[in-house]
Amino acid sequence: WTCNTVERAASFIGSQKSPICLPNYVAGRLTPLQSQPMALIDSFNPQTGSLLCKLPCTPASDVETAIQHARHAFTTWSKTTRRERSSHLRRISDLLQEHRELFAVWESIDQGKTLERARIEVDRAISNFSYFSTYILHEHTTARMVDGVALTYEHRSPAGVFALISPWNMPLYLLTWKIAPCIAFGCTAVAKPSEITSMSAYLLGLLLRKAELPPGVVNIILGDGPTTGAALVASPSVDGVSFTGGTQTGIAIRRATAHQIRKHLSLELGGKNPNLVFADAMDPATRDRTIRIAASAAFENQGEICLCGSRIYVERAVYEDFVREITEYVAEKYVLRKTVGAVASLQHYDKIRGYLQMAVEEKATFKLGGIPPALDKDQNQGYWINPAILTDVASGSVLQKDEIFGPVVTISPFEDEEEAVRLANDSEYGLAAVVLTNDGARMRRVGERIEAGMVWVNCWLVRELGTPFGGMKNSGTGREGGEYSREVFTVVRTLHLPS
Ligand code: NAD
């Protein structure tokens, strides 16, 4: 591997006739595996269906080597001052800003999302580093005087070496959402992106090197879940796991680490988020906003955002109007203007297609969309699915229970507030929700009863990096963001000193 800058690597990948194999980034270097991988993994361009690159399925022995480098780096990194760590994060953020377009282009090619969407996510990745670069300079601790006899205070230290594992839907943004706080609080990391979208993680390794982050502080290994991810999570040399992905994988990680009580676990998992539309939200003054929010919550990033509102419930009085208007809006904005990307993989395409076939069998009505054609793996066809809007979905249907995680939304009516809350909470998940209403009292009344970690009222995807991010029920345990990330990446001890 001779490409030692982000620019050269990107143009090299682009110029190759046959797909290259991405390397791991360990101890500050792009490294070939020490042992032979059992298999190379193919990674495809979702917009064309053609082979984009290959990556190693890093075996357990190489995973352990990366962990040992992170452990070695921890001995010095954990002792650096906040100011030193802050300037490292600031440098990474600045470099990412400099390479914004390059990252956005490759993220779009690798994941299938539109370039516009990829730019938003690179900007958010930049903010992840800049936010935590300043957060650590201003954090404070709690001290109390106990009955005048003792001074008690909380002392925190970095928790150790972390496994940081992320999914394929927002690859760079979600990986940096873990890397930035992890290293800001003095921990070191072995990070593993999804095997479906490893490109931006590879480029990030080069960028970290350019930023002169000390070797071993962040190591990036590539591979699948059962081989690479499982070895990383289970290693006794890993002190904590911050994982974002599906609920079933979260369960597997919990199981694999159940006997390691000391291991910090933060699990950000799946969702099937409700979006409640009350009749007053369709007043002339707010009608357009209501439609726009509901549509983007359903179809941004092809519905491949864990926070997407894929179950819309609408108050009966405005149900017909809402269905007609959102259908017209989505047909114009996403279909006609082609602002929806391709879904991330052929496997995911087939999964979504299966749900749409189920909708036909269940006699749901397609207000928009239909069943996409079966694709032939060898024909290099992109994984394009038009947004689907379904009504008349049978109550209790899996279409309203399972996380489809694609451009598919169901719309059903409700009679009153009580029923709206009941329907919203009728799910094993509890990640996010949207409430659309103009009634101030209802905003709080309904918002506070919804079983979800994040409730947006008359908005969606608004993010403040200090607020707790995470889910209730089967959507996860633990919260991340600001001081909540500090809980994940530090250990706390209480000191009692005689006064
Ligand atoms: P996934 O669970 O299949 O994979 C996520 C990551 O875990 C990948 O890197 C994968 O290689 C790895 N992995 C798989 N099995 C593993 C194992 N046994 N041990 C360790 N690592 C393992 O999820 P996905 O299909 O990549 O992503 C989609 C899911 O992610 C959806 O359910 C979505 O809701 C969820 N998600 C949640 C959030 C959130 O913040 N709550 C954000 C984005 C996506």
pLDDT at position 265 is 97
From 227, 249, 305, 346, mutation site for ligand 1 pocket: most ligand atoms within 8 A of C-beta? 249
Among protein residues, the one with the nearest Cα to ligand 1's atom 20 is: 229
Q: Which atom of ligand 1 is nearest to the CA of 167?
A: 26
Does the structure show a pLDDT above 90 at 113? Answer: yes
Give the integer Cα–Cα distance in Å for 57 and 221: 9
Distance 191 CA to ligand 1 centre (A): 13
From 63, 111, 169, mutation site for ligand 1 pocket: most ligand atoms within 8 A of C-beta? 169
Mean pLDDT of the chain: 95
Among protein residues, the one with the nearest Cα to ligand 1's atom 13 is: 225
Among protein residues, the one with the nearest Cα to ligand 1's atom 23 is: 245
pLDDT at position 14 is 65
Share of residues in the chain with pLDDT > 70 (%): 96
Distance 33 CA to ligand 1 centre (A): 24
Split at pLDDT 50, 70, 90, the class of 39 is confident
Tell me the β-bridge partners of 476: 268
Distance 470 CA to ligand 1 centre (A): 14
Token readout for 87 is 């300037």
Does the structure show a pLDDT above 50 at 439? Answer: yes
pLDDT at position 380 is 85
Does the structure show a pLDDT above 80 at 419? Answer: yes
Rounded to the nearest 10 degrees, the angle between the axes of helix 115-138 and helix 82-98 is: 160
Give the integer Cα–Cα distance in Å for 313 and 329: 18
Split at pLDDT 50, 70, 90, the class of 20 is confident
Distance 466 CA to ligand 1 centre (A): 23
Distance 76 CA to ligand 1 centre (A): 31
Token readout for 305 is 């955002």
For range 222-238, the mean pLDDT: 98
Cα torsion 410, 415, 417, 418 to 10°: value is -100
Catalytic residue among 107, 121, 195, 268: 268
Q: Are strands 264-268 and 40-44 parallel, antiparallel or unpaired?
A: unpaired
Does the structure show a pLDDT above 50 at 381? Answer: yes
For range 265-289, the mean pLDDT: 98
pLDDT at position 7 is 74
From 111, 194, 402, mutation site for ligand 1 pocket: most ligand atoms within 8 A of C-beta? 194
Distance 249 CA to ligand 1 centre (A): 6
Q: What pTM value is reported for the model?
A: 0.97
Token readout for 240 is 């904590």
Q: Which atom of ligand 1 is nearest to the CA of 170?
A: 43
Distance 495 CA to ligand 1 centre (A): 38
From the list 460, 469, 463, the residue with the least C-alpha distance to 488 is: 469
User: pLDDT (tens digit, 9 = 90+) per residue, 288-303?
Assistant: 999 999 999 999 999 9
Does the structure show a pLDDT above 80 at 36? Answer: no
User: pLDDT (tens digit, 9 = 90+) per residue, 483-492?
Assistant: 999 999 999 9
Among protein residues, the one with the nearest Cα to ligand 1's atom 9 is: 194
pLDDT at position 78 is 98
| Sign, CA torsion 459/460/466/470 | positive
Distance 166 CA to ligand 1 centre (A): 6
pLDDT at position 2 is 46
Cα angle: 477, vertex 479, 480; to 5 degrees: 135
ipTM over 0.95: yes
Residue type at position 296: S
Does the structure show a pLDDT above 90 at 35? Answer: no
Among protein residues, the one with the nearest Cα to ligand 1's atom 19 is: 230
For range 3-26, the mean pLDDT: 76
Q: Which helix (H) or strand (E) holds 277?
A: strand 273-277
Distance 136 CA to ligand 1 centre (A): 28
Contacts for 198 with CB less than 8 Å, ≥ 6 apart: 22, 43, 53, 55, 110, 171, 222
Split at pLDDT 50, 70, 90, the class of 462 is very high
Backbone φ and ψ of 196, nearest 5°: -80, -25
Name every protein residue with a CB atom under 6 angstroms from any ligand 1 atom. Answer: 165-169, 174, 192, 194-195, 224-226, 229-230, 233, 244-246, 249, 252-253, 268-271, 306, 403, 405, 431, 471, 476
User: pLDDT (tens digit, 9 = 90+) per residue, 129-184?
Assistant: 999 999 999 988 899 998 888 999 999 999 999 999 999 999 999 999 999 999 99
Among protein residues, the one with the nearest Cα to ligand 1's atom 14 is: 225
Split at pLDDT 50, 70, 90, the class of 1 is very low
Among protein residues, the one with the nearest Cα to ligand 1's atom 42 is: 306
From 202, 244, 300, mutation site for ligand 1 pocket: most ligand atoms within 8 A of C-beta? 244
Among protein residues, the one with the nearest Cα to ligand 1's atom 6 is: 167
pLDDT at position 499 is 79
pLDDT at position 94 is 98
User: pLDDT (tens digit, 9 = 90+) per residue, 304-352?
Assistant: 999 999 999 999 999 999 999 999 999 999 999 999 999 999 999 999 9
From the list 241, 248, 230, the residue with the least C-alpha distance to 265 is: 241
The answer to whether 98 is a known catalytic residue is: no
Q: Which atom of ligand 1 is nearest to the CA of 475?
A: 41
pLDDT at position 12 is 66
User: pLDDT (tens digit, 9 = 90+) per residue, 77-103?
Assistant: 999 999 999 999 999 999 999 999 999
Q: How many C-beta atoms lie closer than 10 Å to residue 463's C-beta?
A: 11
pLDDT at position 116 is 97
